Amino acid sequence: MPKLSVILPAYNAAKTINRSINSILGQSFSDFDLIVVDDGSSDATLEELSRYSDSRLKVFSNDHHGVAKTANFALQQSTSDLVVRMDADDFAHPTKFQKQIEYLQKFDLDVVGCQIKICNESAHCPLSMKRYEDWINHETLLASQISMLRFVEFPLVNPTILAKRSYFKIGFEDNDLPEDYELFLKAISNGMKFGKVPEYLFDWFDHGDRLTRTHQSYSPEAFDLCRKKHLRLGPLNKVSEVDLWGAGKTGKHWMRWLLAEGIDVRHVYEVNQRKIGKTIHGTKVLSFDTIKFDLQTPLVVAVGAVGAREQILEFLRLKKAELQSHVWFVA
């Protein structure tokens, strides 16, 4: 039995599958099998796969069921205790598997990602993705950041993940929510430990046909539903009152949701002097420097301005707030 299994769902990926397959077969760590499941492609994906003779490659062909069911099927065909999730249009650097396994074992993690380079087909990062690339590579590099910022966005890029089999056995749900983000939120709520190798080991290709750009399950509305669902099931389960940081557009959106969920907003804190003293949905906006922490009352930080989270995080550290169990950043 190989030490590692790579599961790779593919759908109409004839133009990119070779880049992905070649990057896997060229890994410095070689004790793996690569399980590719063609999800009912109508192009030449299977023809491209038939060109390979590497015994580590196992190809399956199914009717079209979507990425969640296809990834679950791929896992069922694997046997290894460690599993990598790969996409059909990306590129893993040659030492990715080796360095991720070493990192996972060194820090006793369940799931490990890595830093990334976001590329278009000209190998440049689109300007529209630069902020997200910085967020993945720097703002969510540490395990504590991954946990605390998990309700902002998915802090790992899904095809960078190498994990213990138990992570993937939770299963990808086939619903109207982003299946990779939902799996992550379930796993971290169950106590699984996450980390990220502080090295650039993966090229994540962004293009107009990418599933995350074309399918409704990855729309901003779907991510919003997903984070709210798991925030309510997790940190805000049985919570009747919170404090809120943010009186702008993002903060007002979250205040409306909190109130609709039957959660009272005790205090609203804000940095912007023009908003301090005003009243939002019956709650007066207070200056951020008057904040008082009560471990029975979670603090929801709902800000969207560039750099605002980092400044708030630094302020909260100086105030010695219980960041891991009391403060939740949202978007």
Cα gap 301→265, rounded to integer Å: 12
Q: What are phi and psi of 44, to 5 degrees?
A: -95, 30
pLDDT at 212 over 70: no
| Numbered ranges of CATH 3.90.550.10 in the chain | 4-223
Alpha helices, DSSP H only, in the chain?
17-25, 45-49, 67-76, 96-106, 130-134, 143-148, 165-169, 179-189, 211-214, 220-233, 249-260, 308-318
pLDDT at 255 over 70: yes
| Band of residue 124 on the pLDDT scale cut at 50, 70, 90 | low
pLDDT at 209 over 90: no
Question: pLDDT tens digit string along 84-122?
Answer: 999 999 999 999 999 999 999 999 999 999 999 998 766
First-to-last alpha carbon distance for the chain, in angstroms, is 43
Least confident of 51-60, 192-201, 215-224, 314-323: 314-323
Q: Which of 31, 26, 32, 52 is nearest to 10 (CA)?
A: 52
Question: pLDDT tens digit string along 14-45?
Answer: 999 999 999 999 999 999 999 999 999 999 99
6-14 mean pLDDT: 97
What is residue 316's predicted lDDT score, i.e. its pLDDT?
Answer: 84
294-303 mean pLDDT: 91
What homologous superfamily is domain 4-223 in, according to CATH?
A: Spore Coat Polysaccharide Biosynthesis Protein SpsA; Chain A (3.90.550.10)
pLDDT at 128 over 80: no
**Which amino acid does the sequence have at 146?**
I
Radius of gyration of the chain (CA): 21
- 278: which residues sit within 8 A by CB, 6+ positions away? 247, 284, 285
pLDDT at 129 over 90: no
152-173 mean pLDDT: 97
Which three-class secondary structure state does DSSP give residue 271? coil
| Numbered ranges of CATH 3.40.50.720 in the chain | 237-330
Which three-class secondary structure state does DSSP give residue 189? helix
Neighbours of 255 (CB within 10 A): 22
Q: What is the mean pLDDT of the chain?
A: 93
pLDDT at 324 over 80: no
Pick the CATH number of 237-330 from 3.30.43.10, 3.40.50.720, 3.30.70.600, 3.40.50.300: 3.40.50.720
62-66 mean pLDDT: 95
Cα gap 247→256, rounded to integer Å: 11
pTM here is: 0.93
